[in-house]
Amino acid sequence: MTPARILTVAGSDSGGGAGIEADIKTIERLGGFAMAAVTAVTAQNTVGVQGIWPLPPEAVAAQIRSCRDDLGIDAAKCGMLGGPEVVEAVAAELAAGPALPLVVDPVMRAKGGDRLLAPQAEEALRRLLLPLSTLVTPNLPEAAALVGHPVGTAAERERAAQELVELGARAALVKGGHGEGDDLEDLLYDGHRFYRFRTRRIATRHTHGTGCTLSAAIATGLGQGMDLPAAVARAVAYVQEAIRLAPGFGAGHGPLDHHAGQTAWEEP
């Protein structure tokens, strides 16, 4: 069977735990064919971001166009975009092509706290990318920043998800990993009803790239023809297993195991 063609538009993580690198691992593990439009090169590891070098907006747009015009795209995800000019270029290029499932992960900060989205780019993301998105996947701090109010209670999270849909997204997944306690809930609102995906927190510091991995996994599912709740459910289960099997690399927030139990290829 021909694999679904999944495009990731995001920054490169030299440490391999997040960004383009995590997305490609995820897409391929779940049976898709991964393509990439790199928005920035970062010097990054488990303890922080040591440097960021953004690519010109026209270079990002050209990468998207190259993939679309030759290979074709069945679904896409956006991660780290950086500045407003890149947000504008990505939105314009995606809008110029055929409509496709788009997952927008509004990456604002790295796991260690380094800012990855310029404050002035947040408005461009709201105005230009959310109306193109099939799903937006903010964590709790990102959801609060996008809607402009706290999201500490269940009612506030429901309200935030509804407001994100009112801003133009077809659906919103407010992720609960930054919440308190060991019982976590990711809240999906599709414009009509709420779906709740509950998991138990895994006691580990090795959670670098969880948001990238989740959004790439959802985009892969959508590109493969899964409906949205099913794509989210599979993605949540995959991320949980990848966290559980994390290899323990690095002195800080280490990467997941994107193999998620898969054995290495061996020659027949």
260 phi-psi bin (left φ>0, alpha ψ -120 to 50, beta other): left
Q: Which residues contact 246 (CB under 8 A, 6 or more apart)?
A: 204, 206, 207, 254, 255, 256, 257
Q: How far is CA 266 from the centre of its chain?
A: 31
Annotated catalytic residue 211: yes
The catalytic position among 212, 220, 221, 223 is 212
Burial 165-188 (b: 16+ CB within 10 A, else e): bebebbbbbbbbbebeeeebbbbb
Annotated catalytic residue 212: yes
The catalytic position among 207, 221, 223, 254 is 207
Annotated catalytic residue 210: yes
Cα separation, 166 vs 108, in Å, equals: 21
The catalytic position among 11, 15, 82, 209 is 209
Q: Which residues contact 82 (CB under 8 A, 6 or more apart)?
A: 11, 39, 40, 52, 54, 116, 117, 118, 121
Quick one: tokens of 222?
Answer: 């959508």
The catalytic position among 11, 15, 211, 221 is 211
Annotated catalytic residue 134: no
Annotated catalytic residue 209: yes
Write out the catalytic residue numbers: 175, 207, 209-212
